[in-house]
Structure 1
Amino acid sequence: MALEFEGSLIKVLSEVSGQGKNGVWVKQDFILETADQYPKKACFTAWGDKTADLKTFSLGDKLKVTFSVESREYNERWYTDLRAYRIEAAGEGSVSSTPAPAPRASSPAPRPSAPVADLPSFSEDDQDLPF
């Protein structure tokens, strides 16, 4: 399942690398902050060649990150990563493999109401109901 997050790049942490059984690995964490009334911050991890993609952006840039959520257990504690697999400028006209969620309305649309006098009256004796 792909998820998306848009926000401003506020911090890029140091690149970390190491040697694993499959060879050398590299990762870099970065933090985005939303521009909502109550801003939210999220820390994402870019792995491998995605660290090079991250270097093309500057602090303050508006980014859209497509990511997956991964959790793992170690010593009976759980750790969760937001693994970025696409990092792009927000508003970029690219085609996404998953549709963005529809925006939610902040309040329900007003429903028109008819005056009570205009409503039809029914009794239990009416047999021609439409249902």
Structure 2
Amino acid sequence: MAYELTGKVKLIQDAQTFGSGFTKREMVVTVEDGKYPQEINLEFVQDKVSLLDALQVGQEVTVTFDIRGREYNGRYFNNLQGWKIQTGTSGNTEAEQPPVFDMDTPASFDDDVPF
């Protein structure tokens, strides 16, 4: 099941690569939650590590993540594992907006159309 949170990037850690070849990178997102903002740590693993490359501290993001849990020596641990990031400006780029047509200006057509 996927979850989402929206907030501002507070911290982006350097990538860590372990002897087994496993790579992870963590970031902290500050989420406004009433009177007390929450600082949420999310981890990105393997090929998702590169999602953090274009981010900057202070940037507004929406992160899609899964909750992962495991047991180790009778103790239980949870991780929030991110797999998608949308920046605050995503969806507002000019390339993604539909074209605007001016209804007062007649359209020009190419006369060399074969049909």
Relative to the length of structure 1, the TM-score reads 0.64
- Cα distance in 2 for partners of 1:36, 1:80 equals 21
Return 5+ residue gaps in structure 2 as ranges: 93-115
How far off its partner does 1:14 sit?
Answer: 2.7
Query: Following the alignment from structure 2 to structure 1, what is the Cα–Cα distance between the partners of residues 85 and 47?
Result: 11
**Divergent runs of 4+, >3 A:** none
CA distance in 1, matches of 2:8, 2:87: 10
Q: Number of matched residues?
A: 91
Structure 2 counterpart of 1:31: 28
Distance in 1 (CA, whole Å) between partners of 2:74 and 2:83 is 28
**Which TM-score applies when normalising by structure 2?**
0.72
Structure 1 counterpart of 2:5? 5
User: Any unmatched runs of 5+ in structure 1?
Assistant: 95-131
**Aligned AA for 1:61?**
Q
1:35 Cα deviation from its structure 2 partner:
3.3
**Could you report, residue by residue, the CA deviation over 1:55-102 in whole angstroms, capped at 9, with x for unpaired residues?**
1010000011000001100001111100001012035239xxxxxxxx
Over the matched positions of the two proteins, sequence identity in percent amounts to 24
Q: Highest CA radius of gyration, 1 or 2? A: 1
Match of 2:77 in 1: 79
Residue 36 of structure 1: CA displacement? 4.1
Kindly report the root-mean-square deviation, in angstroms, between the aligned alpha carbons of the 2 structures: 1.7
* SS of alignment partner, residue 14 of structure 1: coil
